[in-house]
Amino acid sequence: MSDAEDNLAGNVGIKSQSLKAEQVEKLSKLIKLIPDILKELKNPDYDEIFGYRINVDTESQVNIPVRNEILLKFLIANDYDVQVTKEKLVKTLNWRNEFKPLSAAYLETHDKELDTLGAITKFNDNEKANLKVVTWNFYGNLKSPKKLFEKFGDAEGKEEKKQELPGSRFLRWRIGLMERSLALVDYSDPQNHKIAQIHDYNNVSMFRIDPGMKAATKEIIEIFGNNYPELLSTKFFINVPTLMSWVFTFFNKIGVISEETLKKFQVLNNGNLSSYFGESNLPKEYNGGKTTQIKDIFGLENSIKSSMEFPEYGKHLLDKHDLQDNLSVE
């Protein structure tokens, strides 16, 4: 970042990246549109994204630098088109109000099987940019697809469902995982304002992938694209069967996956991630078979739970609205 660009970005509190004069101008315009964005919401009182308050400077509990970093992510994702970004923010705020992702992340008790499908880790000493916070997905651990992928309103005779929630059990769990991972992100840090995702296909047969998983994957891609922009640094697909690897090349040739998105993909036929996260930071199934003090990924996740500092405004919302307190979604 040059001194001139640094000064420009600093005018709007941006530290995660350099900005040109015209980009700063567009971000400033978007910031001024916050009152109009809130007026267009189905619930004008719901002004939260990722646990932070998206409101004007004079309101309480507005972290202005982080708010501007979040707005910038939406702006970048929409090619700095201010009007389109405004519309996208309205849709995201409406979606968050209806879906209640904070509840999915911090209040709901999910099916125990879901807890075996994913984890969150943080590698503080990783010097590679935006490869500190990682969400892991272990698709080979899926045992009860019909139950986990059904919508809440689809099951019969479930007494524990005192009220219906948007999405399937899997979707609510996966959104919750994403929200919790963002509690480890520093939006102003060039080295840690995005997360990495690892999709482990060990023990997954491409010929026996549940239709519910396919539908859920499509839904998650759409939701993440619309509501979690510019938060992904790299997506790793590991232990991918050779027969399946050609799919990514094929999609690129026919234009299904954009060149920009493909740059974030790393497709590996094995599970060795040492060159990305460090041999000593990983259990042996992910570092080429070397024995380390790390027994498994879930142990790594447990070691960082105490360091997850949820934004104060998010806590305030959960307390204020008592969102689905102690809700069980098993």
- Domain membership flag for residue 275: yes
- Domain membership flag for residue 43: yes
pLDDT confidence band for 306 (50 / 70 / 90): confident
Higher pLDDT, 307 or 265: 265
How large is the average pLDDT for residues 62-80? 97
Residue 256: per-residue pLDDT: 54
Out of 2-16, 79-93, 141-155, the most confident range is 79-93
- 243 and 122 in one domain? yes
- Domain membership flag for residue 328: no
Out of 158-167, 239-248, 284-293, the most confident range is 284-293
- 143 and 85 in one domain? no
- 187 and 92 in one domain? no
- Cα Rg for the chain, rounded, in angstroms? 20
- 81 and 43 in one domain? yes
Question: Is residue 14 classed as helix, strand or coil in its secondary structure?
Answer: coil
- Domain membership flag for residue 141: yes
- Token output for 48: 């939260």
* Amino acid (1-letter code) at residue 309: E
- 303 and 200 in one domain? yes
Residue 285 CA to its chain's centroid (Å): 25
DSSP letter assigned to residue 328: B
- 215 and 306 in one domain? yes
User: Are 283 and 132 in contact, with CB atoms under 8 Å apart?
Assistant: no
- Domain membership flag for residue 34: yes
- 124 and 77 in one domain? no
- 226 and 132 in one domain? yes
Residue 139 has pLDDT above 50, yes or no: yes
Query: Between β-strands 232-238 and 195-200, what pairing exists: parallel, antiparallel or unpaired?
Result: parallel
CA pair distance 112, 118, nearest whole angstrom: 11
Question: Distances from the Cα of 214 to the Cαs of 127, 153, 193, 223, in angstroms?
Answer: 35, 19, 29, 14
- Domain membership flag for residue 104: no
**pLDDT one-digit tens code per residue, 177-221:** 999 999 999 999 999 999 999 999 998 776 566 677 777 778 888
- 309 and 258 in one domain? yes
* Residue 168's CATH number: 3.40.525.10
- 144 and 42 in one domain? no
pLDDT confidence band for 163 (50 / 70 / 90): low
pLDDT confidence band for 322 (50 / 70 / 90): low
- 94 and 205 in one domain? no
Question: Distances from the Cα of 195 to the Cαs of 65, 88, 123, 179, 271, in angstroms?
Answer: 19, 21, 11, 11, 19
This prediction's pTM: 0.89
H-state helical runs in the chain: 3-10, 21-32, 34-39, 64-77, 82-99, 101-106, 145-149, 169-182, 211-227, 242-254, 259-262, 274-277, 297-304, 312-321
Question: Distances from the Cα of 323 to the Cαs of 49, 305, 315, 320, 326, in angstroms?
Answer: 16, 22, 11, 8, 9
- 114 and 90 in one domain? no
- Domain membership flag for residue 315: yes
CA pair distance 164, 143, nearest whole angstrom: 24
Residue 162: per-residue pLDDT: 44
Number of independent structural domains in the chain: 2
Domain boundaries, position 53: 3-99
- Domain membership flag for residue 326: no
Question: Is residue 238 classed as helix, strand or coil in its secondary structure?
Answer: strand
